[in-house]
Amino acid sequence: MSKEHHGILWIAEAAPSVPVPDALRDEGVDVELAAQASPALIPGRGCIVFDHPFSETAEVAECSLRNPDVPIVVLEKADNRVRHAQYLRAGASVVLFDPLDPEVVALAVRSLLRFRRPVGGSPLQAMAESCRDLLDAAPCFLTVQDRDLRIVASNARFREAFGPGLGRFCHEAYKGLKDPCEDCPILRTFETGASHQVETVVTTRAGEEMNILVWTSPIRDDSGRVTHVMEMATDITRLRKLQDHVTSLGMMLGSMSHGVKGLLMSLDAGIYKVDSGLARGDDDRLREGWGLVKGRIGHIRKMVLDILYYSKPRPLEPRMVGVREFLDELVLTAEPRAREQRVELALDVAGDCGEFEVDRHALFSALLNFLDNAVDACRMADRDGEGRVVVKAERAGRIVSISIADNGIGMDQATIDKMFSLFFSSKGVHGTGIGMYVADYIIGAHNGDIEVVSAPNRGTTCIIDLPAVFDGNPPGADEDLPDDLHG
Amino acid sequence: MAKKILVVEDDAVVASYLSDLFTDNGYTALVARDAETGLELLRSERPDLMTLDIDLPRSSGTILYATMRRDNELRDIPVVVVSGVSPRIKKGLPTLSKPVDATELLQVVADALK
């Protein structure tokens, strides 16, 4: 897999000052033009040409330091001849000054391409270079990290999705975090020398969330010591979405089964009455039985249709609901659990918030989710009886604003960004990752808004604004459904 | 004399069904719509057999079963569980899952009464 050279990177602010790139290309040499010496573009190159470098010797020095095995040609203006020695000291192999003879430039470049400095003993670099094509072609994100969790190599796919890797901390590149992730599999591999696997949620540089499965692999030096860890991450977002949908289907069917059994049994009852009524010529019993059968079949029909259309959530049924009374019931429902966790629940309704037009059942379950999470946040922070969740409501004109504030464990920005994802939960085995996704969907369907204010260990406040008059998805319409939920 | 069967079942339609089924097949049937009434009728009527639904309002059928088993006068009355909720209360206790097959139910009842 090793190549003698991987082409030339020609760095010029505008256009090359000599027609050498085209000439080289005609000979079959790969020449890439760039406006600056981005670190990502350099490893593995046969040669770099700094065509009238903008920032004197610093750029050259930087490039040479990071890539000691890539020869450098500098093309400079005549009046910078004094820098000749400086360029050479900085690591350039050849320095040519104006007026430039294209033939001389081409000869210099070609000779450097033939001559490859030996790679410094690091097995990492040798491996990375000889596998570069393979790594770039792999359908996953590949990075190699050092003990500080800095990325020292990355494949093209990673760079496309998360930006240049070199020198960045992996937790920053993948998640925007200043500190290593909890349960970092890479740190574990450094510790144990074994492969580790973790599933997590990251954010691409386009701001999209992605569920990934991560495998880590140790890279050892000649003495067997783990000096670096390779991380391979696969995008499993679609798989998780599908799996979650199947799980929620299963949950729905599970909760329906008891009702179905009773239904079928009473259908049997009707059938029995019809049969025995016929057998005895008992018209009353026959009629009674038939009525039962028809009614039950109607019920079964509705259930089957509901199941069939489950992939399209039932459209909202908005009704006028009293705000205070609604929140009273909400708090009452959440109370037993809060009491168990020794968390205090308080309701603070400012003045007369009147009524709002909402789908009571859907909104209730959405807000209960927020409330339960607030209680959990206090439990996780071990507030030891000092945990407190306050539900506030106020009305500003056409908007009813409900806030749920806790003094619990709080969230960092990365967690806030992911809190409404379908499969993300901070609760480990206690969370399904479904509640917030559905809550977010329901509030969106009411054309409401959610604002989350939180900081680690400073508690969380979720503010949910809802229009008092329903102007969300009208009942029966489902064009606005997330794509993945369409039947 | 016809054997007496106590049907403990909260769903009116299912209770009426089981009652009809037993009556049509030569038994006398009584109905209790919750655990409390079931216990009362067990004591006052001393049926020859009880069919028991587990998912009852206010108090589960499991508790009714445990209570009757602790009562020396009631413990030997045979019980057949007829329920939509799955786990078996006790090994060896005849349990039929809803929706039940009428023929199977009659057979299990007949066997338990032997």
Q: Which ipTM did the prediction report?
A: 0.74
Chain B CB contacts of A269 below 8 Å: 13-14, 16-17, 20
Read off the pLDDT band of A121 (50, 70, 90): low
Residue ranges of domains in chain B, CATH in brackets = 4-113 (3.40.50.2300)
CATH number for A123-235 (one of 3.40.50.300, 3.30.450.20, 1.10.1740.10, 3.30.565.10): it is 3.30.450.20
Structure tokens at A168: 């960045």
Chain A CB contacts of B13 below 8 Å: 265-266, 269-270, 292
For residue range A355-396, list pLDDT tens digits in order.
Answer: 999 988 778 878 988 998 898 889 888 777 789 999 999 998
Residue B55 to chain A, least CA–CA distance (Å): 10
CA distances from A454 to A16, A345, B39 (A): 52, 19, 55
Structure tokens at A144: 């190699």
* Fold of the domain built from segment(s) A8-114: Rossmann fold (3.40.50)
Residue A363 pLDDT: 87
Residue type, A295: G
Distance CA A166, CA A154 (A): 7
Distance CA B74, CA A89 (A): 103
pLDDT of A254 over the 70 cut: no
For residue range A396-434, list pLDDT tens digits in order.
Answer: 889 999 999 999 999 998 888 878 875 455 544 334 455
**How many Cβ atoms from other residues are within 10 Å of residue A150's Cβ?**
18
pLDDT of A244 over the 80 cut: no
Q: What is the CA radius of gyration of chain B?
A: 13
- The average confidence (pLDDT) of chain A is 82
Lowest-confidence range among A205-219, A234-248, A451-465?
Answer: A234-248
Question: In chain A, whose CA is at the least distance from the CA of B22?
Answer: A272
Answer whether B45's CB lies under 8 Å from B34's CB: no
User: Is A264 in Cβ contact with B20 (below 8 Å)?
Assistant: no
- What share of chain A in percent tops pLDDT 90? 29
| A125 three-class SS | helix
- What are the sequence ranges of the domains in chain A? 8-114, 123-235, 240-308, 319-485
Read off the pLDDT band of B59 (50, 70, 90): confident
Task: Respond yes or no on whether the N-terminal peptide bond of residue B99 is cis (omega within 30° of 0).
Answer: yes
Residue A482 pLDDT: 47
Question: In chain A, whose CA is at the least distance from the CA of B10?
Answer: A262
Residue type, B18: L
Distance CA A86, CA A71 (A): 16
Answer whether B93's CB lies under 8 Å from B62's CB: no
Is any Cβ of chain B less than 8 angstroms from the Cβ of A267?
yes
Residues in contact with A234: Cβ distance below 8 Å, sequence separation at least 6, in sequence order: A139, A140, A141, A212, A213
A405 beta partners: A390, A461
- According to DSSP, residue B51 is labeled E
* Fold of the domain built from segment(s) A319-485: Heat Shock Protein 90 (3.30.565)
Structure tokens at A429: 């085995």
In this prediction the pTM is 0.39
Which of A255, A264, A265, A285 should one mutate to test binding to chain B, selecting the residue with the greatest count of B CBs within 10 A? A265
| A355 three-class SS | strand
